[in-house]
Amino acid sequence: MTTLPLPYRVTAVSAENADCVSLEVAPVGRALPDFSPGRFAMMYAFGVGEVPISVSAIPGGHRLVHTVRAIGAVTGALCRLRPGDVLGLRGPYGTGWDLGAAAGSDLLVVAGGIGLAPLRPVVRHVLDHTDGYGRLHVLIGTRTPEDLLYRGELEDWRRSSAQVEITVDRPGPGWRGSVGVVTTLLDRVESAPDRTTALVCGPEVMIRHTARALLARGLPAHRVQVSLERNMRCGTGHCGHCQLGPLLLCRDGPVVGYDRTGPLLAVREL
C-alpha cells in the first residue's frame, strides 16, 4: 500500500445535485490495490489539499467512482475538476462493510444525505449476488427531493428486488412521498431482527438515532454496522487526528459495529 498519492485522471464527471459531483477516475500509470465497499481514499486536489472520500462505485478495470459534496476548500476544488484533469489518490484505507457477517441475512441499508455514497457499492454488490443474502431494504433520508443522490439508479434497484423508501426534510411542490426523519421509514420494513444486518451511514446524529431505534426493535448492536466520519490527516493510523476513544477511525473504522461505537458516541453527547 502506497502512502504517496498516485496520479489518477478524471474520466467522467456527473452532477448528482446542486453541490455533489461523482468523479470517475482511472490510473495514469500504476493503480492502487482493489477497493471494497465502505473503504475510502485520500483524494488530493493538487495545490489545495487532501481529504478522505469513500468509494461510491467500483466499475472495474481499475476505475473508481467517488461522490464528493462541496463543503470547503478541498471538496470544492475536487467538485470543479473536469474530464482529463489529474488528481492524487492513495488508499484503500479503513475497514469496509462486513458483508461476510451479513451473508444469508436480510440487509437493511439506512442512509442520510451523502451517506448514501459509501452504501451504493453495497447495494450494487448485493443486487448482483442475491443468492448470498435475504431481502434488501434501502431507506434514504435527504434534505429536499432535489438533493436525492443517484436518482436514475434508484428505480433500477427497485426493479432488481430492493425495497427502496425515501423521506425528505423539506418537501417541494409536487412531492408526494414521505416527510420526516429517516427513522420514520423503519416501520415499513418487514424483517425479523434476528436475521437482519443493518448498515448505517449519514450525519452522526442520524446514525445515533437510527442505531437506537434498531436496538429498540431488537437488533443486536453487533449487527448494526455504522460508518463514522472524523477529521483525518494520515489515513494510516499514525497521526491520531481521527481518534474516537480507543479507536482510530481511519484504521479501526470508518465502519465499526455499534456494540463498539455506541458507548463512545453516547459519552460525546454528555
| Rounded-to-integer distance, Cα 173 and Cα 45, Å | 38
CB of 120 to ligand FAD, least distance (A): 10
Q: Is 22 in the site for ligand FAD (CB under 6 A)?
A: no
| Rounded-to-integer distance, Cα 270 and Cα 266, Å | 7
Site string for ligand FAD, 26-55 (x = CB under 6 A): --------------x--------x-xxxx-
| 73 interface partner picked from ligand FAD, ligand FES, none, CB below 5 to 8 A per type | ligand FAD
Cell for 221?
Answer: 448492536
Asked if 38 contacts 90 with a C-beta cutoff of 8 angstroms, the reply is no
Q: Is 261 in the site for ligand FAD (CB under 6 A)?
A: no
Cross-strand partners of 53: 41
User: Which window, 27-35, 61-69, 130-138, 146-154, contacts ligand FAD (CB under 6 A)?
Assistant: 61-69
DSSP for 145-180, written as a single string: GGG-SSHHHHHHHHHTT-EEEEEESS--TT--SEES
Q: Is 230 in the site for ligand FAD (CB under 6 A)?
A: yes
Sheet holding 20-27, edge to edge: 49-54, 40-45, 86-93, 6-15, 20-27, 63-69, 57-60
Nearer Cβ to ligand FAD (214/249):
249
Site string for ligand FAD, 177-216 (x = CB under 6 A): ----------------------------------------
Positions that interact with ligand FES (CB under 6 A): 232-235, 237-242, 248, 250
| 72 interface partner picked from ligand FES, ligand FAD, none, CB below 5 to 8 A per type | ligand FAD
| Rounded-to-integer distance, Cα 136 and Cα 159, Å | 12
